[in-house]
Amino acid sequence: MLHLKKTAGLALAVALLAGTSAIAQQRTLVFNTDTSDPAPRAAFDQLIADFEAENPDIDVVVNMFDHEGYKTAIRNFLTADAPDLANWYAGNRMAPFVNAGQFMDVSDVWESAGFDDTLASARASMTIDDKQWGVPYTYYQWGIYYNKDVYAQVGAEVPTNWDEFVANCELFKAAGIDCLTTGTSALWPAAGIFDYMNLRTNGYEFHMALTAGEVEWTDQRVRDTFAQWARIVEPGYMTANHAAIDWQDAAALLVQGRAANYVMGNFAVATFMDGGMTADNLGFMPFPEITPGIPRAEDAPTDTVHIPTGATNVADAKLFLAFLGRADVQTKLNAALGQLPVNNQSTVGDDQYLSAGFEMLSNAYALAQFFDRDAPAEMAKIGMEGFQEFMVRPEYLEDILQRLEAARVRIYQ
C-alpha cells in the first residue's frame, strides 16, 4: 500500500495558518482505491483535489492498489484496517460484503442528496434489502464495435437485426474474415456475448430472473438463446482459438481487418485507437434485435464507492459520497475517465462513441450490470466457463446446460 499524502502543500498551509491563528482542526479521510491505471488515476487525483478545495478542513489520504491486487486486498482490509472509503462494484458483486455486514448502509445520503431521482438508473443495482449501500459514479456502455473498412470490403450493410447480422457473417467468412471476434482466456468477454444474446432473445426481466437463480438453465427459453448463438458459432463465424487469447489480442484482429465485429465495452476504444483505428473506420452499434418487439436493455457495468462499516470518519465519508454523486462532479470526473456519468443531470463530452453510448443508455429500457456482477460469484464462474465451452464445442450444449442447472440448484438454495 502506498500512502500518498494528498495536497501536502494545502495541508502545510493550513498547518501554518493553524500555528498563527486559533483553531483550524484538520480531519482525515482514508480512501482505498484501485484506480491505478494512468487515466483513472489522474481523474481521481483531480476529484480529490476538488473535494479538498471545497472542504479545506478535510484531508484525504489515498491508498492506491493495483487493479487486480485490489480484488483480494479488499477481502482483508475491510476487517483488518478499514479505510473510510473504498472503491468497488454494484450488483451482486457487492453482495458478499453487504451480507457480511462490511459495507455501511448509506440510504440516508441517497435521500438527503436527492440521489433517488438523479441516480435513478443505477438505483436498482445499488439496492439490497431496500437499502442503498454505496454511491455509483460511472458506467460505460457495451455494444458492437465494427471495422467499417472491412464492411465496405465485402459489401456488407450495417445490420438492423440478428438475421441480417448472420447473413453478413457468411459474406465475411467467404472473404476469410472472422465475423465476430473475442478473446476468452480471462472468461468475462464470453459473458458479454451471452448477456446480449439473452437480453435480446428473451428480454430484461427474464435475464434478471435467470441471474437471480429463479429460472432453470434447462428452460426452453435458455435453449432458444443458445440456439440463436449457435447460428454464428456452429458455422465457424467466430475467431478460432479464442480460448487461448486475451481480449487485447482479439482487439488486434479487429484493428488489422482480420475480424469484422467485436462485442465489447467502451474502454476498448482506447485500445482500438492505439492500434491505428480512427473515428472514420471504427463503428459502434447497439447489439441488434433478435426477437422482434423486446424492449432494448443494455449491459452497463457500474463502478461505485462505499463506506466500510469499520470506518472511523463516517461523517466526512458521507460528505464525500454526497459530493461524488453531484451532477457537476460526475460530469468532470467522467470527462477525464472517458466514461459516462450516472447522474442524469450531468452532461457528456463530444466523443462520438460516448455520445452514442449516452444516447443508447439513456433511452434503454433497463440496465444490466454484466453477468459476473448480476449473478453470485460462484454461479458467474461456472456460467462463464460454460459459455466459453459452448463457443469451443457447441455440440456439448446439453451437458453444459445440465451442469449449469445443477450448479444453480446448489448455489441458490
Partner 1 sequence: MFPRPIAQRSRNARILYQVALPISLILWLLPLLGVALTSVRPSSDLAAGNYFGMPSHIAFSNYYDVFANSPIAQYILNSFKVTIPTVIGAVALSCMAGFALGVYKFRGNLIIFFLFVAGNFVPFQILMVPVRDLTLSLGVYNTTTGLALFHIAFQTGFCTLFMRNFIRALPRELIEAARVEGVAEWRIFWYIVVPLMRPAIAALSVLVFTFIWNDYFWATVLTTGASTQPVTAGLYSLNGQWVAAWHLVSAGSIIAALPPVAMFFLMQKHFIAGLTFGAVK
Partner 2 sequence: MSVTQSQSKPQSWWRRNQQALTPWLFLAPGIFMFSVYVVWPIFESFRLSFFDWDGLGTKEYIGTQNYSELWGDRNFIISLKNNVIWLVLYMLAVPAGLFIALFLNQTVAGIRMYKSLFFFPFVISQVVVGLMFSWFYAPNFGLLFKLTEWLTGTGIAVLADPDLVTYGVIAAGLWPQIAYCMILYLTGLNNVSADQVEAARLDGAKGIKMLWYVILPQLRPATFIAVVVTVIGALRSFDLISIMTNGGPFGSSRVLSYYMYEQALSEYGFRMGYGAAIAVVLFGIMMFFIAGFIWKMVRDEKGGY
The residues that touch partner 1, with contacts defined as CB under 8 A, are: 1-2, 65-66, 68-70, 72-73, 76, 80, 246-249, 252
The yes or no reply on residue 141 touching partner 2 (CB under 8 A) is no
Upper half-sphere CA count for residue 330 (Cβ side, 13 Å): 27
Note whether 78 and 86 are within 8 A (CB).
Answer: yes
- Rounded to an integer, what distance in angstroms lies between the CA atom of residue 215 and that of residue 202? 12
- Going through 134-203 in order, the beta strands assigned E by DSSP cover 135-139, 142-147, 178-181
Query: Residue 70's binding partner, choosing from partner 2, partner 1, none, with beta-carbon cut-off 5 to 8 A by kind?
Result: partner 1
Q: Which of 102, 168, 198, 346 binds partner 2 (CB under 8 A)?
A: 102
Q: Which of 61, 166, 187, 327 binds partner 2 (CB under 8 A)?
A: 187
Note whether 93 and 41 are within 8 A (CB).
Answer: no
Query: Residue 209's binding partner, choosing from partner 1, partner 2, none, with beta-carbon cut-off 5 to 8 A by kind?
Result: none
Bridge-partner residues for 33, per DSSP?
64
Q: How far is the CB of 68 from partner 1 (least distance, A)?
A: 6
Phi, psi of 272 (to 5 degrees): -65, -45
The yes or no reply on residue 405 touching partner 2 (CB under 8 A) is no
Task: Tell me how crowded residue 143 is: count the other CB atoms within 10 A of its CB.
Answer: 23
The yes or no reply on residue 272 touching partner 2 (CB under 8 A) is no
CB closer to partner 1 out of 250 and 321 = 250
Q: Which of 3, 5, 67, 410 binds partner 2 (CB under 8 A)?
A: 410
Binding segment for partner 2 (CB under 8 A), chosen from 123-131, 235-243, 267-275, 309-317, is 235-243
The yes or no reply on residue 199 touching partner 2 (CB under 8 A) is no
CB closer to partner 2 out of 12 and 186 = 186
- Rounded to an integer, what distance in angstroms lies between the CA atom of residue 268 and that of residue 144? 11
Q: Which of 179, 307, 337, 380 binds partner 2 (CB under 8 A)?
A: 380
Contacts 24+ apart (CB under 8 A), 391-394: 391/182, 391/184, 391/190, 391/193, 391/233, 391/238, 391/242, 391/243, 392/242, 392/243, 394/230, 394/233, 394/234
Q: Which SS3 state, helix, strand or coil, does residue 132 take?
A: strand
- Rounded to an integer, what distance in angstroms lies between the CA atom of residue 158 and that of residue 165? 8
Q: How far is the CB of 133 from partner 1 (least distance, A)?
A: 24
The yes or no reply on residue 381 touching partner 2 (CB under 8 A) is yes
Query: Residues in the site for partner 2, rule: CB under 8 A?
Result: 71-72, 75, 78-79, 96-97, 99-102, 184-187, 240-245, 372, 377-378, 380-381, 385-386, 388-389, 392-393, 403, 410
